A and B are shown apart, each in its own frame.
Chain A
Amino acid sequence: MSERCVLGADIGVTFTDIVLTRGDGQLHVVKQLTTPGAPEESVLGGIRRLLETTGVDPASIERVVHGTPLATNAVIEHKGARVAFVTTKGFGDLLRISREARVEDDRYDLFFEPSPPVLERDAVFEIVERCDARGEVLVGFDATQARAEAARIARYAPEAVAVCFLHSYARPDHEEAMEAILHAAMPDVRVILSSRVHAEMREFDRASTTLHTAQVAPLMARYLARLREGLGRLGIQGPLHIMESSGGVMSAAVAAERAVATLESGGAAGVMAAARFANHYGEKRVISFDMGGTTAKAGVVHDGRPRVVRELHVGGRGSYGGRRAGTGMPIKTPTIDLAEVGAGGGSIAWLDPEGVLQVGPRSSGADPGPACYARGGEAPTVTDANLVLGYLTPERFAGGTMALDPARAHAAIAKSIAEPLGTSVVRAAWSIHEMANANMASAVHVVTVQQGIDPRDHVLICFGGAGPMHAAGLASRFGLSHIVAPPEAGVASAIGMQATDLTAEHGHTHWIQAADLTVAELSRQFARALEVAREKMGLDDDEASLAGALEVERLVDARFVGQSHELSIPYAPAPGQEAAELAALPARFRARYRELYGIESTGAVEYAAFRVRLRIPVARPPLRRSAREGTDAPAAEWRDVWFGADKASRTRILTRGDLAQTGTLSGPLLVESDVDTVVVPPGWSATVDEVGSVHLRRE
């Protein structure tokens, strides 16, 4: 094989982005309209176009990494597969009795509407069996009754069956017996066991995770089969990897059983783009900031790895992108810790009944879009404000594919904000811009300060069409002094995906007092978790040859006796040091607890779960300047731009290519490309590096 190429394919609402990285790091980008009914067609169509235009040999593609919203859409639109839910006798209503939090406005609304039940009654089947928390059998598994129920389930004709028995994390064999009976009754129907999907305590969370897995697995399996077949037809032999919410990828072979792991993969891919550039620059502490049309997302990347939490909610309500704890349905799966706020280019500015300016969370979307799109949108948006402030060149927006109308932006802000308040349009526009920054700052706050992380020594890596326009304003709020605006910000997710490792994680509940835990017991628990984690990794031979050595990370969930929120503490002994490492765990937990909550505590520590994270590093393609760089229209010109409400500054406008020629320049500057504009306010300098990233540094 002469060349080793990597493909990244990211399906978005409007466009499917395909990015090909050549062996030498050269990037090629194609945007293909997404075909909602058959998303694989947009992926395959885009890849075909890319192969044709570049002449790259399909056989040289050693890996395809794919991010798909299939699971997310199925869950949010309630279009999952037909699923039978099987549970312990007495708990058939487990998922039908709400556990929904009521937050924000819903708290004062006598007419609030709860989310509809996730299951119809006919889909629920109860089995006579019962274990306790220690895994002891209280009621034996009634195989006769189970077989009779299996016959009823077969008549229900499900596409998949979700099985969740009480305390199955402590004793999975009743679920396994049920699986055998179901297989006998319905050989072709997929059976999902809660003890395999999520072997942890808390029946509602486990049942919800299992149910959603079952609802999505058949769709994912069918979709990936079509996609793999299509890739084969194109002559692509390399393995297909599916982007996960954790920032890792999984083999397409196991993606059906792990389908819920993709639910937040879109946001994760963006953070992985930040991680890819962080690694390229050797930056250890990075804040990732992605601002699109409707929302902005912030995440943290330390030592090249994003911070991962273990729960997400689907169909949630409230601010932070519906991530309010307790709203929606819980899904227990490793997920990059992202904070999301309703502040994007399309976010609408409005005056509340008190006459106070608000920005978002309502958005004008892509259609009609901001007022300046001249497609019928009349509400002023963040993009309109940015146009009024002079940050956007009307005739070169989106690479000149769509001219903006400054008069409409001006009129919209005047009518809705400036005139009612009796102030100037520029002052109103500046406030809209600043308010968007403040909203986004709260997202950064959630992922840093609230986690005991001091943001000030971090580098801000920004993406999204609007990200580089707001990055300096955002950075100033936290005292950050270095911003990176990588090239091709519009396809950041597809770029991020290409630098991902194969990962799998499994943990199980096992309660034990710290004082009672021996090295032998600890090893036994980790061995048990490792076995399942390996199954979840599910590598075939191709991947095994592609991959590097397996890395194993071990974690213990610790808490003070009596608490029920845990912190994961790493256990990583040097050979022969196991006893010392075990003895050090409680102190390590207390230190982390103090860091997070500011509480000094000497209470007794107990352990609740043992987890193993597996990682197989995959070679990263190098980064090089994008092929598109330099095709941007030259724009060596000057205009008045507002970096505050009081006076405009004469500002130079140039392309990334121009800036590469001139070397470092001091702001004010606007650095344009086809996909974004980097705003460099006075007090910042800008320079372009060898891969085409613009670096802003506080002077």
Chain B
Amino acid sequence: MNEREIDAASRLEAEVLRHALRIAAEEASIVVVKSAHSAMIVEGADACAGILDATGRLVSLSTATNLMHASSLRCSLPAVLADHPLETMRDGDVFVMNDCFRGGIHANDLLVFRPVFIAGRVRFFTGTLIHVSDLGGSSAGGIVPGATDVFAEGLQLPPVKLYAEGREVADLHNLIALNSRTPDRVMGDLKALVAGAHVAARRLEALAGEYGPAALDRGVANYIAGTERRMRDELGALTPGVYRGEYAIDDDGLDLDRSPVVRVEVTVGGPGAPVRLDFSATDDQARGAINAGFSQALTGATYAVRCYVDPSIPMNEGCYAPIEVVFRKGSLLDPKWPAACGGRVVSVTAVCEAVVDALSQARPDRATAASAVIHPFTLAAATGGNPWLLLSYEYGGLGARASSDGPSATGSFFLGGRNVVPQVEPLEARLPLVFESQSMIPDSGGPGRYRGGLGVETRIRVLKDCEVAIRSERVRFAPRGRDGGRPGRSGEQFAVLPDGGTRPLLPKAANQLMYAGETFVLRTSGGGGLGRPEERDAAQIEADLVEGWVSPEAARRDYGFTGVKASPSAKPSGAAAGREVGR
């Protein structure tokens, strides 16, 4: 065969291998989720699995799991390789780490790697990661917004051996168990992570047997190179120029008079990479725990750019190559050791908003208003005879899009769908809690030609004294609107006392006492609106009134709409609808 024929043959056959590589990662993540012990993953699905080559390049990534983790496996494998050179690795070795200054995320997210030996050499790694329920630190469950350094956030692990040639390293297991408030769960989770890594490794070994090591390497290299070509083509279609975007964070929970800003300068079509993101102008790192380790900041930056290319492009190393990202050491996005990084989601979502802010100028047809972020919280009584812990979170509304309303109550950007929020009944069965209600918040979506999505209110009565830890964001500055759209309603959190009075709670603080009989209320924010509310279609306003997403008062106030009185089972008629003029 000549070269063209060889190329044709490889294109005819490539997808079979690529599919197998994706399935291997997928299968590993399924095993982790199904066999894990921590409520965060077992009720939700906060797991991720990937395949990497021996140089640390990402080959494939599970497709149904949390993308917050997308870059972490590839960013942290080099640390494993630095501490454990390839030639020292043995078949059956398994490594674990979480150091956020070397590619990790934060203490509670454990990354597990297993070298895959083919013909006597390490050719690949399989990696799995999940959020475990507790790994120490000054608040049960690992939400420590007040941490001023990484030591307060939990046990730190450099890349260390969890299994040596298939045998459990008991010393390390004992060390981890002793540092967790929920040792049984964390030990169970470690087993799940290792099982997932094994499953993917077995698939790779089988593929090597089927294709031969050389053809497998070639297939992987072509896969990554092809992805890179597609990324370059798509990014090349963006209008060249320099676009600036920024997003302000409420605060770090400690220095309340300082609102750090993430700033990005996006250069499209410059001399270097097709897209260059320079975050150098971002504010300095914070004292509180909202800093993002570089792998997390990179996740946010690449994720946001990927939203402007064909979504079917696979996730592998080829996605990273055409995007140049610059962070400034000592800034929020690449802080100096030992800054606290547990609340990195606050900065990373601001990274996404800043990039979207910039690229909305390059692609007005793809413009998007700002969204709510995740509101993580724990309720726990960690000491005393019967320790218990709820680690959960809630989502809010997404920003309106240039041609549609923002979806309500779902994860923004890489955070995925609300299927990861646990259902109420199993939580009540395990924990001394009674959920009083869970409801959409009418009028929380930012008014606009396209309306922002709605936030959610959750009310949880605690039956025993406990502590609440919260890491909310967009509670001082509501998600902003765009192009004349108004901001969504900001989130809030407070306690309701048995006598009906209320007591404020801090949005970013751990160890806040709650007493038996009190109710913890969490409201997530609504997404920003896009376009002037006056331009909203009357039929859409009517539909919102019927569904209760917008109240009659708000329809009048925000949209100047007077046509319809929404009452149960009374369908609005188009003829009666009208709008006040002169607004």
Check A560/B37 contact, CB under 8 A, given A97-B456, A111-B404. Answer: yes
CA A326 to CA B366, docked complex, whole Å: 27
Beyond A100-B418, A121-B548, A450-B30, is A105–B312 a contact (Cβ under 8 Å)?
A: yes
Alpha-carbon distance A106/B416, docked complex (angstroms): 9
A518 interfacial by beta-carbon distance below 8 Å: no
Which of B99-107, B244-252, B320-328, B429-437 faces chain A? B429-437
With A90-B437, A108-B311, A203-B425 as given contacts, are A597 and B12 in contact (CB-CB < 8 Å)? no
- Given the known interface contacts A110-B307, A599-B192, the answer about A98 and B185 at a Cβ–Cβ threshold of 8 Å is no
> Given A102-B411, A112-B407, A427-B12, does the pair A132, B428 have CB atoms closer than 8 Å?
yes
- Asked if A599 and B11 sit within 8 Å, CB to CB, the answer is no
Q: Which residue of B19, B39, B198 has the most chain A CB atoms within 10 A of its CB atom? A: B19
Q: Could you tell me if A560 and B188 are in contact, using CB atoms closer than 8 angstroms?
A: yes
Query: Is there a chain B Cβ closer than 8 Å to A56's Cβ?
Result: no
For the complex, what is the distance from the CA of A625 to the CA of B96, rounded to whole Å? 61
Are B307 and A108 within 8 A (Cβ)?
yes
Contact string against B for A residues 547-585, beta-carbon threshold 8 Å, 1 for contact and 0 otherwise: 000000000000011111100000000000000000000
Are A166 and B16 within 8 A (Cβ)? no
> Which stretch of B170-178, B226-234, B261-269, B551-559 is in the interface?
B226-234
User: In the complex, are the beta carbons of A107 and B67 less than 8 A apart?
Assistant: yes
CB–CB A103/B63 < 8 A: yes
Stretch at the interface among B1-9, B141-149, B288-296: B1-9
A138 within 8 A of B: yes
Distance in angstroms between the alpha carbons of A156 and B5 in the assembled complex: 68
Interface residues of B in 402-445 (CB under 8 A from A): 403-404, 407-411, 414, 416-421, 423-426, 428-429, 434-440
Residues of B with C-beta under 8 A to A52: none
Q: Does B255 contact A (CB under 8 A)?
A: no
Q: Which of A107, A111, A434 makes the CB contact (< 8 A) with B416? A: A107
Q: How far is the CB of B437 from chain A (nearest CB, A)?
A: 3
Q: A152-B568, A201-B429 are in contact. Are A355 and B11 (CB under 8 A)?
A: yes
Task: Determine whether A540 belongs to the interface, using a CB cutoff of 8 Å to chain B.
Answer: no
Contact B188 A562 (CB under 8 A): yes
The CA of A156 and the CA of B43, in the complex, are separated in Å by 36
**Which residues 156-193 of B sit at the A interface, judged by CB distance below 8 A?**
184-185, 188, 191-192
Which residue of chain B is the closest to A109 with respect to CB atoms? B311
B312 & A564 in contact (Cβ 8 Å cutoff): no
Contact between B16 and A434, CB atoms less than 8 A apart: yes
- A121 and B547 contact, CB distance less than 8 A: yes
Q: In the complex where A326-B417, A442-B19 touch, is A111 in contact with B366 (Cβ < 8 A)? A: yes
- Contact A354 B229, CB 8 Å, known A97-B440, A99-B419, A599-B192: yes
Question: Given the complex of chains A and B, what is the CA–CA distance between A117 and B409 in angstroms?
Answer: 12
Q: Are B9 and A423 in contact (CB under 8 A)?
A: yes
A120 touches B440 (CB 8 A): no
In-complex Cβ contact of A603 among B14, B184, B198 (8 A): B184
Cross-interface CB contact of A100 among B368, B417, B425, cutoff 8 Å = B417
Contacts of A597 on B, CB cut-off 8 Å?
A: 31, 34-35, 192, 195
Return the contact of A324 from the options B64, B198, B408 (Cβ within 8 A).
B64
Does any Cβ of B come within 8 Å of A245's Cβ?
A: no
Q: CB-CB < 8 A to B401: which residues of A? A: 110-111
Contact partners of B9 in chain A: CB under 8 A: 423, 427
B199 located at the interface, meaning its Cβ lies under 8 Å from any Cβ of chain A in the complex: yes
| Nearest-neighbor residue (CB-CB) of A430 within chain B | B12
Distance in Å: Cβ of A575 to nearest Cβ of chain B: 35
Chain A CB within 8 A of B565 CB: no
Bound Cα distance A318, B22 (Å):
14
Asked if A663 is an interface residue, CB under 8 A from chain B, the answer is no
The reply to whether B410 and A102 form a contact with Cβ atoms under 8 Å apart is yes
Q: Are B403 and A111 closer than 8 Å at their CB atoms?
A: yes
The reply to whether the CB of A351 lies closer than 8 angstroms to some CB of chain B is yes
Q: Which residues of B contact A562 (CB under 8 A)?
A: 37-39, 42, 184-185, 188
The answer on a CB contact under 8 Å between A353 and B310 is: yes
B15 adjacent to chain A (CB < 8 Å):
yes
Do A445 and B23 contact each other (CB < 8 Å), given the known contacts A97-B438, A112-B407, A120-B547?
yes
Chain B contacts of A355 at CB under 8 A? 11, 226
Q: Does A94 contact B (CB under 8 A)?
A: yes
Number of interface residues of A (CB under 8 A): 83
The 8 A CB mask of A306-347 against B (1 = contact, 0 = none) is: 000000000000100000111000000000000000000000
A401 within 8 A of partner (CB): no
Does B459 belong to the interface (CB within 8 Å)?
Answer: yes
A326 and B45: CB pair below 8 A?
Answer: yes
Q: What DSSP secondary structure best describes chain A's contact surface?
A: loop
| Nearest chain A residue, comparing its CB with the CB of B318 | A354
Complex: chain B residue closest to A108, CB-CB: B311
Say yes or no: B438 contacts A122, CB within 8 Å.
Answer: no
* Docked pose: A351 CA to B456 CA in angstroms: 43
Contact between B311 and A122, CB atoms less than 8 A apart: no
A596 contact set on B, CB distance < 8 A: 34-35
Out of A101, A155, A202, A560, name the residue touching B417 (CB < 8 Å): A101
- Asked if residues B547 and A101 are in contact (CB atoms below 8 Å), the reply is no
Contact A326 B419 (CB under 8 A): yes
| B39/A564 in contact, CB under 8 A | yes
Alpha-carbon gap, A461 to B287, bound state (A): 65
For residue A57, give the distance in angstroms from its CB to the closest CB of chain B. 53
**Smallest CB-CB separation from B459: which chain A residue?**
A90
Contacts of B45 in A (CB 8 A): 101, 325-326
Known: A152-B568, A203-B425. A563 touches B440 (CB 8 A): no
Q: A102-B417, A108-B307, A597-B34 are in contact. Are A353 and B233 (CB under 8 A)?
A: yes
Cβ 8 A contact of B421, one of A99, A120, A152: A99
* Distance, CA A655 to CA B279, complexed state (A): 71
Interface string of A427-447 (1 = CB under 8 A from B): 110010011001100100100
Complex Cα distance A201/B422, Å?
12
How near does chain A come to B304, taking the closest CB pair, in angstroms?
A: 9
CB pair A421 B439 closer than 8 Å = no
Residues A428 and B12 in contact, CB atoms below 8 Å apart = yes
Chain A residues lying within 8 Å of B198, measured Cβ to Cβ, are: 598
- A202-B425, A354-B230, A422-B5 known; A599+B311 contact, CB < 8 A: no
Per-residue interface assignment for chain B, residues 31 to 65, with 1 indicating a CB less than 8 Å from any chain A CB and 0 otherwise:
10111111100110100000000000000000110
Question: In this assembly, does A643 line the interface, its C-beta being within 8 Å of a C-beta of chain B?
Answer: no
Closest to A354 in B: B226
**With a CB–CB cut-off of 8 A, which chain B residues contact A203?**
423-425
Residues of A near B257 (CB, < 8 A) are none
**In the complex, A204→B404 CA distance in Å?**
27
Contacts of A235 in B (CB 8 A): none
Query: Of all chain A residues, which has the CB nearest B4?
Result: A422
Quick check: A104 and B63 within 8 Å, CB to CB?
yes
A15 lies within 8 A of chain B by Cβ? no
A168 nearest in chain B by CB position: B425
Distance A202 CA – B198 CA, assembled complex (angstroms): 31
Which chain B residue has the least Cβ–Cβ distance from A437? B16
Asked if A91 is an interface residue, CB under 8 A from chain B, the answer is yes
B418 touching A90, Cβ below 8 Å:
no
| Given A438-B19, A442-B19, A561-B184: 18 more A-B contacts, CB < 8 Å | A92-B439, A99-B418, A102-B416, A110-B366, A166-B424, A201-B429, A202-B425, A326-B419, A351-B11, A356-B14, A357-B15, A434-B16, A562-B185, A565-B42, A598-B195, A598-B199, A599-B192, A601-B191
| B binding-site residues for A, Cβ under 8 Å | 4-5, 7-9, 11-16, 18-19, 23, 27, 30-31, 33-39, 42-43, 45, 63-64, 67, 184-185, 188, 191-192, 194-195, 198-199, 226-227, 229-230, 233, 303, 306-307, 309-312, 356, 366, 368, 401, 403-404, 407-411, 414, 416-421, 423-426, 428-429, 434-440, 456, 459, 546-548, 568-569
Q: Which 5 A-B pairs have the closest CB atoms?
A: A90-B437, A431-B12, A133-B429, A326-B419, A423-B8
Pairs across A and B, CB under 8 Å, 22 listed: A90-B438, A93-B439, A98-B408, A101-B45, A102-B416, A102-B417, A109-B311, A156-B569, A201-B429, A204-B423, A325-B64, A351-B11, A354-B226, A357-B12, A422-B4, A423-B5, A423-B9, A431-B13, A439-B19, A597-B192, A597-B195, A603-B184
